[in-house]
Structure 1
């Protein structure tokens, strides 16, 4: 049976160009690796932006063994409701809100891709972003999926033959390569370059807030120096890849692939918070599962919306909420690292139960650290002046709500983790059946599935 993989693009913006490029990457994967590719576009746009994305997916060339799946908001909600109902969740409306919230959620959109890729019968998931593009070298596009399909899902011992470098202890060679990722080049992943240009000490004060509270001044400085910069600005020249226990600081969610682990652990569904989609990278590292870090980096760029006053306020609020979330996540990461390989159950699968307990324990932490972070942020943004000072007034006025929301986000994550196994099991038997696509793959012929509106299911 031909291996089927999911190349996923969650988006809330017009991105016809990205859809076209993603289809080219899917075609590359088919031609070079003999796989089938579900090209999954999870689209929460509306109006003309949605229409342009729909037309871009509809008008793609008929690439052999590439199955475009374009799901609008109504289609996603309908399918998720079927999965949730089949899973028998006690509070289905709460779970649906966590999977498809009103606000922007990097974790939730990727969780939807995890579940729907399983409904499509995909063995692995490969995620890209709509505000990035591929490097082109001497007229050749540098597709990350090349490195991903070389090793993802193989036993680490077998993957040694297809990487440039091995720094993996031989005791891990019987485990599967669970994660393959690269980073990005170009503009910073967080739009704070203007702060650096205005005042480097204020930049340090702000960025260092995501360090562990017990970090040394030297450790904080090193973190600030590398934060949000990806792989810098260097261009691709030739392939380099390393088999190891991958450091999450070396890879990014715009350029990532997972095998099995996304079926075991979801991402935090926090809204309006950057970094909420990086949790699984840490779980893979802490559980001592092998991964590959490669240099087929994606080019990052900023969309126009970030530069508007509204976009500016929204983005800096996401950054603020990220800093507050780290009070809890640093504690969870520490406990996962201490647990190490004991997080793994049969078949080298991550056990979610201890992670749930670690998340519960994090809720007992002293909240004064987050109060201090808000003090630092308010002071720093005030000193920068202009619209930064206006943002300082905004967070000062929402101080209490921000502290409570950071705590509630962890509670929501616990609820989702408790339901995840049931959701994933239900997704395996819940078909996107309008085009005969389901996890059993019985009688499936690759075809085009563009479901921007309501879905009608012809079988359960």
Structure 2
């Protein structure tokens, strides 16, 4: 899919449902750095799902950002996002418009859906890439200067790997891969773990191991599960940035985080992210797809710094986050199967022009949705037993989870089917978004 503009445009995106004035200021500074250093037109996109008071404070901060040449800010509340989506969906003439609107802008929290909206809006703006950040992360600082990930992203993204190679520290690609474009550039985070389960490890390391290992394929060996537990959710540790290092390679999905990632349009305009609600990890699918399709990427070390927001430390935040974690574990029955199929397919995930094939992915998802859910019943049993060992609010949560067992099992399967449906409709939605433009939804 070719860009319909001669201007080099990118989208630096921040989806948020929480107060994050500092993140907005930091993002404005990263946008200015990108425009100044690379001469690109940066569309700074803030997708704001906050309450009215918080949005008003965000709007005040946006209005106070320094005017910078080639930086255009779009601050969209959900009403304006919905207006854009309705117009694009109507123009796309898809068969189930109301259902698709619900998948793109659900009432509940969805990490995949908010990023999918950024993808469609980036297409409407004529951008060649999306660079995603999170509201609970900050940039590292070295010698008084912020360390912006976009430096590596714009140095390589979209270029044939052979042309991008001089800009990285090292290249580790198999023969025959260097003609493909760099499709993803990413790093991870330092600081607090990305998933709010560190307390479990402090209370009982054995329970922590049992619970975290539940996202592994059941047929894995104990050694494989042990390694997964050791690596999961901890990012790049705690060592601060001191000097750049980057590798042009097939990027290991365990080494990058969606708070610090950029994708070329040739990926996200063909396959979206899973739109599952209240499920952590639902936005990581494209990282696996890029790797399994043997599309080159760049792994760098300009990690962002992760921190926990106050809400996550409240009882309500605890309950919400633990449920998202459980739903993530249930989703892995289906995604582990799909990932195995993608890994086996390899180059068959690409068409004759070496673009990712959404129809193949949708087929894998539909096949996986028919799997026996006995494995997920086992997962719920294991979580319930483990949390009851911990007692206190974990045991109380187990009671709430057990009361929703059938609902949770059904939702995991339906989320998989919904993802396949969205992939089917995605090419038409992308075309319609381009034709519609952001229009009246613009800030």
TM interval, short-chain normalised: over 0.9
Matching residue of 1:238: 243
Matching residue of 2:58: 53
Matching residue of 2:323: 317
The offset of 1:137, in angstroms, is 1.1
Correspondence for 1:97 among 81, 84, 102: 102
Rounded to whole Å, the distance in 2 between the matches of 1:402 and 1:368 is 13
Correspondence for 2:379 among 373, 377, 381: 373
For residues 252-331 of structure 1, the aligned pairs below 5 Å read 252-259=257-264, 260-331=266-337
Correspondence for 1:397 among 372, 390, 403: 403
| Aligned-pair Cα RMSD in Å | 0.9
Aligned residues: 437
Rounded to whole Å, the distance in 1 between the matches of 2:352 and 2:166 is 26
Matching residue of 2:31: 26
For residues 81-230 of structure 1, the aligned pairs below 5 Å read 81-230=86-235
The offset of 1:2, in angstroms, is 3.3
- Give the secondary-structure state (helix, strand or coil) at the position aligned to 1:302: coil
Rounded to whole Å, the distance in 1 between the matches of 2:438 and 2:112 is 22
Contact 1:5 1:122 in 2 (8 A): yes
Rounded to whole Å, the distance in 2 between the matches of 1:346 and 1:76 is 35
The offset of 1:328, in angstroms, is 0.2
Q: Give CA-to-partner distance per residue, 1:115-152, whole Å, 9 cap, x none.
A: 00110110111000001000011101000000000000
Mapped pair 1:337 → 2:343: yes
Matching residue of 2:19: 14
Matching residue of 1:43: 48
**Structure 1 stretch displaced more, 137-146 or 48-57:** 48-57
Rounded to whole Å, the distance in 1 between the matches of 2:143 and 2:353 is 43
The TM-score with structure 2 as length reference comes to 0.97
Matching residue of 2:3: none
Contact 1:370 1:403 in 2 (8 A): yes
Correspondence for 2:421 among 406, 412, 415: 415
Matching residue of 1:458: none
- Give the secondary-structure state (helix, strand or coil) at the position aligned to 2:343: helix
The offset of 1:30, in angstroms, is 0.7
Matching residue of 2:366: 360
- Give the secondary-structure state (helix, strand or coil) at the position aligned to 1:326: helix
Correspondence for 2:431 among 396, 403, 425: 425
- Give the secondary-structure state (helix, strand or coil) at the position aligned to 1:285: helix
Rounded to whole Å, the distance in 2 between the matches of 1:243 and 1:101 is 36
Where do 4+ consecutive residues of structure 1 move more than 4 Å?
none
Distance 1:12 1:205, change over 3 A: same
Rounded to whole Å, the distance in 1 between the matches of 2:375 and 2:54 is 41
**Structure 1 stretch displaced more, 345-354 or 125-134:** 345-354
Matching residue of 1:446: none
- Give the secondary-structure state (helix, strand or coil) at the position aligned to 1:68: strand
The offset of 1:434, in angstroms, is 4.6
Structure 2 residue runs of 5 or longer lacking an equivalent are: 1-5
Contact 1:2 1:34 in 2 (8 A): no
Correspondence for 1:347 among 350, 353, 361: 353
The offset of 1:292, in angstroms, is 0.4
Structure 1 residue runs of 5 or longer lacking an equivalent are: 436-448, 451-460
Matching residue of 1:439: none
Rounded to whole Å, the distance in 2 between the matches of 1:395 and 1:115 is 35
Contact 1:103 1:271 in 2 (8 A): yes
Rounded to whole Å, the distance in 1 between the matches of 2:440 and 2:345 is 44
Rounded to whole Å, the distance in 1 between the matches of 2:164 and 2:105 is 36
